[in-house]
Amino acid sequence: MKQVMDEIRQRIHHAAVASGRPPEAVRLVAVTKTVGADRVADAVSQGVDMVGESYIQEAREKFDALQGLPVSWHFIGHLQSNKAKYAVRMFDLIHSVDSFKLARELSREAEKYSKIQDILIQVNISQEETKSGIKENAVLDLISDISALSHVRVMGLMTIPPFFDEPEKSRPVFRHLAKLKDQIMEKGISGVHLTELSMGMTGDFEVAVSEGATLVRIGTALFGTRQ
């Protein structure tokens, strides 16, 4: 694990430096879906400080088993509004908000815990029918609607490109997301300050880093192929 971790960190570091970005501007979210609690604990002992989970039930089991571990929990999967209460209890950042209804539920639940829930908006840049994420032309309205909610805070944008056999093919998608973030910032919506771009996975994280990713979500390269 240590060697693999070091190698991934180095690749992130190199990709940042090569594109003129400070390496500390890019943080690794270790994607631990399907990975058992003991391996998650091992990864944390090797310096992983953010883990990403995709399924609420699976995350709850690990979250309970790993109470007190110095790690921040992120949710990266599709979240149903009726699971908002579990999500708010566990996650420091939810990457995958794509509707006002979900944001409103999160805000309502967060209020009960006197928490401000940090979220990202998942954008479907490539407009594949099957992918979750909001269409690009609806993002601005969604963010301004959400900005009126008292207990959620939009921190940035997230996207998942279609599966490509070649990492460079993801580049236009990543570039597009970065540009969209800038365009939204230019609108100067009160209380909205987007700092995060969650993009890049095992197959294309270096390309994402060179296009401005601040959070890369890496599973397979760290933990091996999932069942």
Ligand X SMILES: *Cc1c(COP(=O)(O)O)cnc(C)c1O
Residue from 26, 35, 143, 201 that binds ligand X (CB under 6 A)? 201
Structure tokens at 131: 């992918």
Closest by CA position to 198, among listed 144, 142, 118: 118
Instruction: Mark the segment that binds ligand X (CB under 6 A) among 2-10, 58-66, 168-176, 211-219.
Output: 211-219
Q: Is 196 helix (H, G, I), strand (E, B) or coil?
A: strand
Q: Judged by CB under 6 A, does residue 202 bind ligand X?
A: yes
For ligand X, give the closer residue by CB, 203 or 212.
203
Q: Is 10 left (phi over 0), alpha (psi -120 to 50) or beta?
A: alpha
Q: Judged by CB under 6 A, does residue 217 bind ligand X?
A: yes
Instruction: Mark the segment that binds ligand X (CB under 6 A) among 40-48, 82-90, 113-121, 199-207.
Output: 199-207
Residue from 160, 178, 184, 207 that binds ligand X (CB under 6 A)? 160
For ligand X, what does the binding mask look like between residues 76 and 115, x meaning CB under 6 A?
xx--------------------------------------
Q: Judged by CB under 6 A, does residue 54 bind ligand X?
A: yes
The span from the CA of 188 to the CA of 183, in Å, is 9
The burial of 22, by beta-carbon neighbours within 10 Å (0-12 exposed, 13-18 middle, 19 or more buried), is given as: exposed
User: What φ, ψ does residue 53 adopt, rounded to 5°?
Assistant: -120, 150
The span from the CA of 120 to the CA of 208, in Å, is 17
User: What φ, ψ does residue 226 adopt, rounded to 5°?
Assistant: -80, 155
Q: Judged by CB under 6 A, does residue 218 bind ligand X?
A: yes
For ligand X, give the closer residue by CB, 46 or 202.
202
Restricting to residues 20-39, name those near ligand X by CB under 6 A: 31, 33
Q: Judged by CB under 6 A, does residue 219 bind ligand X?
A: yes
Footprint of ligand X (CB under 6 A): 31, 33, 54, 76-77, 160, 201-203, 217-221
